[in-house]
Structure formats: structure tokens, C-alpha cells
Amino acid sequence: MRMVFRWFGTGNDTVSLRQIRQIPGVEGIVWALHDLPPGEVWPLDRILEVKREADEYGFHLDVVESVNIHDDIKLGLPSRDTYIEHYQRTIENLAQVGVKTICYNFMPVFDWVRTELHRQLPDGSTAMFYEKAIIDRIDPRELIGTINENPDLTMPGWEPERMARLSELFDAYEGMTKERLRENLRYFLEAIVPVAERHGIRMAIHPDDPPWPIFGLPRIVSTQEDIRHILEMVDSPANGLTLCTGSLSADPANDVIGMIREFADRIPFVHIRNIRRFDNGDFIETSHRVTDGSVDIPGVVKALHEAGFLGYARPDHGRQIWDEACRPGYGLYDRALGIMYLWGLWDSLQHRA
């Protein structure tokens, strides 16, 4: 297991590379050019700029999260070919700094969705919360202000330029079905995977968060069957999965440990996060400790260990603790605690072996 840490870039993160370097065992940053809209080619000089910054602290840039996919590709519009070419060009540029894995998602319109960014937990810390009844009821536009509470920090997937076009986007997806969305993913993968293969890069699709349809939009990466279907679509190690324990576990029917066992050789990257599920479909993000949430984190780590996992792992979202002023889900303290929990589990398994 190779530990990495998501970093949003200079001026776009409250956590510094200097701080990240002091977390035991973190070898690389998970990065992206967050200011570029989906569909643009990532310029090599911008990529090299991040490389210079990372080099100064001895971090690698092996994992990118995310190179986002233009909606025209998800919609299957004729203009998709241009955006696919741009994506191929971006892969070539990323290969020049040694990138090994590209995480992306194929969710229509929204990336992740929550109804509250600072829900208080019993210990006084706060975490991101999903209230099902609200999502079932509201107009999605009402969420934008909640998620983009801080104009200085762009929330990935919720870029103001994209949100300004929300009604237009919803119109474009009118009538979209699961089958068509899957076909559009297949079209994308058939064009992208050979380029990734040539450059030793593994694509890693992120599951839907939450793993069920919202606002009438279809979802295609929510279940074990969905994932199997995608991995079989283009049968190559370069067509992989970002196994996100928190996203998938929001649905109690999902067996993440079973997924690790079934898809082990197709998982280049894992997001390890705990959540607590409630019977009404709500969930809240919690500490990584097994007793604090509904996800069997020790079981997840054990399954990865048994599979001989050599890929990248990052602690996913943490709580906001110790009065840290940070991006919701992406503070330093709780993610660092999460890493130490994960290392504790991993090292004890190594020790026994």
C-alpha cells in the first residue's frame, strides 16, 4: 500500500506540502489543475510547475484526481470527439512527469453531493452529512450555495462556471438512460484506454457518491454489478477502479470487501473513508475507526493486504477537528489521524506475515 495525500495546490488549499511531509509514510500528492475547466488540454508547463513544487518536498505526482470529463462526452454529443482528443493529449502530457493513475468519474452533472458540510458529531467535531429526504425534495440549484460556501476554495465538481449552466445541463440530460450513459462511457474508454496503456497509465473510475440516482439523473458506477460491467467493457489493466469505501458503503447492499476480492487486480487506487449510515438513508462521514462508523475499515485493509495490494491509497474525507479552518473533508488533522490508523492496521498485518 502506497500512501498518498490529496492536495489542491498552492493558494487553493489550507494544508501545506511542508505539513504533509510530516505525516508518516506519505510518498506522493494526489493533485489536479483545479482551475482548468473539463475538456481543456492540461498544458505541460502548468504540469511541470506542480512537479517543481512537489520535487522540493520529495513527493511524486503518480496519482491525478481528477481529469474531469466534459459533459458532451457523458451526453454522447458529436462534439465529444474533440474533447476525447483533448483528454488523450492530457494523458500524454501527464505521462511526461511520470503519472501512473488517473482518477475520474462519470456522474452526470454533479460529482459528489452532500446537504451539509458542517454537521456536528457528538464529540463536537463536524463532518459532511447527506440527508436523503432533502435531496429527494429540493431543486438542485438550492445546494450550490451550501457547497460553495467559501468563494476562495473551489469545491471539485462544483465549479461556479459549471453551476451557472445548471439548468442547461439538466435540459441536456433530459431522457438520458442508464444504458445510453454506459454506452457513452464505453465509447470514451475505447478511445482512451489504448493511449493510457501506451503510456503506462491506469485509468481509475470513481464510484458514484452517493451510489444511487439523484435528481432523476441515471448512475452507472453504484454497485458491484455496475463495476464488473465497466471493467469487462474494455478488458485491460489500464481500465481500472478507484475503490472508494465511503461512497460505496452509503448503500448497505454494497459489499466493499467482496469488491476488493473480486476486482483486486483492477484497483490501482483506493479511497479509505468511514461513514455512519442511518436507517432512513442519511449518512455522515466519521473518523476512520471501525467503532465510529458503518464501514469495516480493518476488514478493508485486511482484504487489500491479502490481495497483495501494491496500489495507492489515500485517507478520504476527514472530520473538521481541533478548530482547524480548512476545506470541509480535507483538513490536515483528521486525515493524518486516519493515515496513522490505516498504517497501524497495515503494519500489524505485515508484522504477522
The H or E element that residue 351 is part of is: helix 333-352
Is residue 317 annotated as part of the catalytic site, yes or no? yes
Cβ of 346: how many Cβ atoms within 10 Å? Answer: 19
Of positions 80, 86, 206, 314, contacts ligand DNO by CB under 6 A: 206
Of positions 28, 39, 157, 211, contacts ligand DNO by CB under 6 A: 157
Q: Could you tell me the CA-to-CA distances from 212 to 9, 237, 265 in Å, in that order?
A: 31, 26, 25
C-alpha cell at 314: 489515500
C-alpha cell at 146: 451550501
Q: Shortest distance, CB of residue 6 to ligand DNO, whole angstroms?
A: 8
Catalytic residue among 60, 70, 86, 206: 206
Q: Shortest distance, CB of residue 186 to ligand DNO, whole angstroms?
A: 18
Residue 70 to residue 257: CA distance in whole angstroms: 32
Interface region with ligand DNO, contact rule CB under 6 A, candidates 19-27, 88-96, 103-111, 222-230: 103-111
Interface region with ligand DNO, contact rule CB under 6 A, candidates 36-44, 98-106, 294-302, 318-326: 98-106
Catalytic residue among 244, 282, 312, 326: 244
Q: Shortest distance, CB of residue 203 to ligand DNO, whole angstroms?
A: 11
Interface region with ligand DNO, contact rule CB under 6 A, candidates 56-64, 97-105, 164-172, 252-260: 97-105
Cβ-based nearer residue to ligand DNO, 112 or 346: 112
Closest CA to 223 of 183, 278, 263: 263
Residue 297 to residue 99: CA distance in whole angstroms: 28
Of positions 31, 104, 188, 346, contacts ligand DNO by CB under 6 A: 104
Instruction: State yes or no: residue 111 binds ligand DNO (CB under 6 A).
Output: yes
Q: Shortest distance, CB of residue 249 to ligand DNO, whole angstroms?
A: 13
Cβ-based nearer residue to ligand DNO, 131 or 209: 209
Instruction: State yes or no: residue 106 binds ligand DNO (CB under 6 A).
Output: no
Q: Which residue has the cell 441515471?
A: 218
Residue 271 to residue 251: CA distance in whole angstroms: 16
Q: Shortest distance, CB of residue 225 to ligand DNO, whole angstroms?
A: 20
Residue 84 to residue 39: CA distance in whole angstroms: 8
Q: Could you tell me the CA-to-CA distances from 144 to 27, 133, 165, 319, 331 in Å, in that order?
A: 34, 17, 12, 21, 21
Is residue 70 annotated as part of the catalytic site, yes or no? no
Is residue 86 annotated as part of the catalytic site, yes or no? no
Instruction: State yes or no: residue 65 binds ligand DNO (CB under 6 A).
Output: yes
Cβ-based nearer residue to ligand DNO, 54 or 64: 64
Of positions 101, 105, 154, 184, contacts ligand DNO by CB under 6 A: 105
The H or E element that residue 6 is part of is: strand 2-6
Closest CA to 210 of 181, 174, 246: 246
Is residue 316 annotated as part of the catalytic site, yes or no? yes
What residues have CB less than 8 Å from 9, skipping those under 6 apart?
31, 32, 33, 34, 50
Instruction: State yes or no: residue 184 binds ligand DNO (CB under 6 A).
Output: no
Which residues here bind ligand DNO, judged by CB under 6 A?
Answer: 65-66, 103-105, 111-112, 156-157, 206, 329
Residues labelled catalytic: 206, 244, 271, 316-317, 330
